[in-house]
Structure 1
Amino acid sequence: MHDTFLIKGIYEELIKICDKYDIIRLDRVVMEVSRNSHIDEEEFIEFLKEQNDSIMGEWTTADIRKEDIEENTAIIYVLEGKRNDAVIEN
């Protein structure tokens, strides 16, 4: 059950990071979760597909590493994608 909350939390943080850095398409994410977590790449990408999000989806790849870190925690190391290069002037 805790993995459901963790995967939603990861998704919400990714949305915030993408918004902050004007990322309009997330192609790859590298992260670390606890060795006890059941989250894997396939499950994570399936979750992204279900969100029907324009930034993340079936085109996004995930590299999820399992390490000795606190449970219910994820560390995001790398985001690769496309930034919005349009400049809006007032």
Structure 2
Amino acid sequence: MIFLVQSTTISQAATGEFVYHETKGGTAKSLYNPEDGPCYTVKIAAETLTENLTNRDALLYVEPDCQGHPYSRLTPKQKHTFDQAFVGVRFER
């Protein structure tokens, strides 16, 4: 007798908003309820406030497509002004 086991991966999403600025003094942009795992291409300017108002950690990358190691991490409900610009963000539990 053969048993087959199939696993199903259910995509999870963060609850909340990730707020960032593309330019210093510019209008805020947001990602709402972003999914866990995928890389979101963003342009986050240096010396601007970035707010992780989600219930997931936000990993910030300086390399396109979230390549390499994350430069920084914002935990849920954390906000910070970075000296570094970022081009990618990924959310995880």
Q: Do these two structures clear the TM 0.5 threshold for a shared fold by scoring above it?
A: no
Considering fraction of residues, name the structure with more strand: 2
User: Higher RCO, 1 or 2 (CA under 8 Å, sep at least 6)?
Assistant: 1
Considering fraction of residues, name the structure with more helix: 1
